[in-house]
Amino acid sequence: MYIIIVGAGNIGTPLIEIATKGGNEVVVIERDSEKADEAAGAFDCLVINDDATEKSTLSDAGADRADALITTTDQDATNIMVCLLAKELEIPDIVSVVHNAEHMDIYRRIGVNTMENPQRLIAEYLYRAVKRPSIVDYMRIGEQAEVFEISVDEDAPIAGLTIEEAASSGHLDDDMLIVAIERDGRGNPITPRGDTVIEAGDLLTVYSAEGATPEVTDLFGHYEDH
């Protein structure tokens, strides 16, 4: 893919790293000369030290052949302006971070895919790491449901049971689903079936409609504060 990334700050820099390592052709636009120099020295990509809110800058970045544009600056006004120009230049996929939730409607009207308030997402992740240390990783779906990774402890109520047995005994209810199982550090996850036995030490990817509540994590042998 040919990707234009606007901003080489706290969000843009790791994005540039991921995009370049993924084998994409990346062009970065950064107005701050020091940040532009740092990005140019660190990554195998073209870095333009200029203002992305100028149409000519986006044109210089190759907007006419770009597959996507991602704007990551810390100013919603800048991100919105860049997205409007990207729409005008007919860049197929446009993505932006959104810092103020009140601006979400503007992005929707423009037709831009968004990631809302990344700082808050990081804060929630850090809080979860302290509040629910048994959760390896998680993603929220809607207001309450979550997909999360959790290991199975030796004294977990479901350890040694098949998925069908765990469901019929009431341990796994209709609002929970084991999506994948990683065992013994193997790279390829096991696709769960009804007769798949849940073993101590397994790392499970779980969907829970009520989220990773203490009652849910208890099933896997992690008895945290309720």
**Which CATH number characterizes residue 176's domain?**
3.30.70.1450
Secondary structure class of 86 (helix, strand, coil) = helix
How many residues does this entry show for the chain? 226
Residues 6, 102, single domain; the answer is yes
Residue 121 lies inside a defined structural domain of this protein = no
Residues 111, 8, single domain; the answer is yes
Residue 166 lies inside a defined structural domain of this protein = yes
Residues 89, 162, single domain; the answer is no
Secondary structure class of 153 (helix, strand, coil) = coil
pLDDT for residue 162 is more than 80: yes
Higher pLDDT among residues 30 and 184, named by residue: 30
Which whole number is the average pLDDT over 118-142?
A: 69
Residues 148, 86, single domain; the answer is no
Residue 28, classified by CB atoms within 10 Å of its CB into exposed (0-12), middle (13-18) or buried (19+), is buried
pLDDT of 166 reads 93
Structure confidence at residue 121 as a pLDDT band (50, 70, 90): low
b/e per residue 44-61 (b: at least 16 CB within 10 A):
ebbbbbbebbeeebbeeb
Which whole number is the average pLDDT over 2-11?
A: 95
Positive or negative torsion for Cα 34, 40, 43, 47: positive
| Segment 174-215, tens digit of pLDDT | 889 999 999 887 667 889 999 999 999 999 999 999 888 888
Number of domains forming the structure of the chain: 2
pLDDT for residue 226 is more than 60: no
**How many other CB atoms sit within 10 Å of the CB of residue 131?**
13
Residues 72, 137, single domain; the answer is no
Last residue of a domain, one of 87, 116, 145: 116
- Dist CA 96 CA 80 (whole Å): 8
Q: In which residue are the tokens 């969000």 written? A: 11
| Segment 39-65, tens digit of pLDDT | 999 999 999 999 999 999 999 999 999
Residues 148, 46, single domain; the answer is no
Which whole number is the average pLDDT over 159-176?
A: 91
Which whole number is the average pLDDT over 104-130?
A: 75
Q: What percent of the chain has pLDDT over 70?
A: 90
Residue 224 lies inside a defined structural domain of this protein = no
Closest among 8, 89, 72 to 45, alpha carbons compared: 8
Last residue of a domain, one of 60, 82, 116: 116
- Dist CA 224 CA 214 (whole Å): 6
Domain residues for 172? 132-218
CATH number (domain holding residue 58): 3.40.50.720
Q: In which residue are the tokens 């390592």 written? A: 21
